[in-house]
Amino acid sequence: MLTDKVLSDAKFYNKPIALLFYTEDCDVCKPLFEKVKELSISKRFYLFEVDAIERSDYFIRLTRGLVPSIAVVSPEVKLLGIVESNDVDFVDKSLRRIHERYSQGYKGEEIPSFSPDPEDPSLDVLYEVLNRAMSGETIDFRGAEFVKLVSTVHKEYQKALKTLNPENELAKFVLTGERPPLETKYVFTTAFLVSYGLLEPKELYRFFGERGLVYRSQRKEGYGYLVDQSVVGNALITLYNRTGDSEYLKSAEEVFSFVKQNLSTEKGFRDVIARDKVTSSLFLEPLANAEASLFFARLWAATENEEAKKLAEVAIRCAYAGSRDIRVISRIALTMVVLNERVKTSEKVAELDYRVYLGHTNCKFEFDGTCFNSLEEIRPKVF
């Protein structure tokens, strides 16, 4: 978006750049921006409208997470100011103040980074997720999957599934089976629907680029996001478990290689591939790292790839250091289940169970080197 050409022009004409962030469900955004474009002060800026979902890499670095928002940066990509209002008069006055400060020599602030020191979670995280979910805290589909998994082992939790507070249609589907809308615009939702057999796998491959790259949406503007790469990787592992088709495992390994080569850092994994001066700012987003930890752990469980296991541990420490949000620790809890409770099976896995992976074994189910005839015979170690 902020290409070298855009920045070169902005520098030549000495114009700051105003990025107008919106979402498709924001009713006030578009009308506001049309009015902003008509303001006389707007002629002193380069204006760009930015979809906050498609370009969350910009949104997370340049705003405080609100829409509508206008982030103003200098031609050197320093943050000059943020305007948060749907009042056009307030926006007018704010842009004038920002431009006046810039004209007087204000250079702006560096784009903030986020790189917490890694922290090891304990197994208590599993019980924290359960307790918070049972207390009515909103859970997303990964949180719902975790509680449902626990309820398959500890039957006393099954009645409680009806009392949980799902975040959206995806989480509700996990808990109740109520079919969600078959929305395929974004890869995140598509991966979920494919994982549960609600869409054909070919729908997922529509978002693939070269060498394991994943596009965020059908627009193919945003790409290389850690959370998207990881949720697709998880869907591919599920498809391999369900079908035994090694092509899905091969695709998962390509996605893993892309993440390892393009997003890996010492402390964790970047939220997105660095492709300009904005995205070069290091941001180790906790939820994305938590989703990545789950993908890496499941890849290890399916393939015995020890590097994937080590990187799962890197991602899990990064995620836990960055946030205690229940969406983050739900993914951490699932990762801990995979790393500690992995069960090999010689049969295809029809239903999603984060413990069970199709692998080389002569047993119907193999756990810790012992054969079992059913999952019910296996006593979990960590929950």
Asked if 95 and 139 sit in the same domain, the reply is: no
95 and 132 share a domain?
A: no
| Percentage of residues of the chain with pLDDT beyond 70 | 100
**59 and 189 together in one domain:** no
The answer to whether residue 25 is domain-embedded is yes
Mean pLDDT rounded to a whole number for the chain: 97
- Are 92 and 132 part of one and the same domain? no
Mean pLDDT of 144-158: 95
pLDDT at 346 over 90: yes
Are 146 and 259 within one domain?
yes
What separation in angstroms does the CA of 226 have from each of 8, 138, 214, 262, 295? Answer: 29, 23, 9, 10, 11
Q: Is residue 369 part of a domain?
A: yes
In a domain, 168, yes or no: yes
| 287-342 per-position pLDDT tens digit | 999 999 999 999 999 999 999 999 999 999 999 999 999 999 999 999 999 999 99
Mean pLDDT of 346-351: 95
Sign of CA dihedral 177, 330, 217, 84: positive
Position 226 scores a pLDDT of: 98
pLDDT in tens, 200-248: 999 999 999 999 999 999 999 999 999 999 999 999 999 999 999 999 9
Q: Please indicate, yes or no, whether residues 286 and 142 belong to a single structural domain of this protein.
A: yes
Give residue 101's pLDDT band: very low, low, confident or very high (50, 70, 90): very high
Same domain for 256 and 163? yes
Q: Are residues 163 and 277 in the same domain?
A: yes
Domain limit, last residue, from 69, 103, 137: 103
Does residue 132 lie within any of the structural domains? yes
Instruction: Give 13: exposed, middle or buried? Use CB within 10 Å, 0-12, 13-18, 19+.
Output: exposed
CATH number at residue 95: 3.40.30.10
Looking at the 3D structure of the chain, how many domains does it have?
A: 2
Q: What is the pLDDT of residue 1?
A: 86
Overall pTM surpassing 0.75 (yes/no): yes
CA distance 376 to 127: 21
Average pLDDT over residues 71-93: 97
Percentage of residues in the chain with pLDDT exceeding 90? 98
**What's the domain range around 27?**
4-103
111 within a domain of the structure (yes/no): no
Residue 132: the pLDDT is 98
pLDDT at 8: 97
29 pLDDT band, cuts 50/70/90, is: very high
Residue 349 lies in a domain: yes
* Same domain membership, residue 146 and residue 36: no
The answer to the question of residue 72 being in a domain is yes
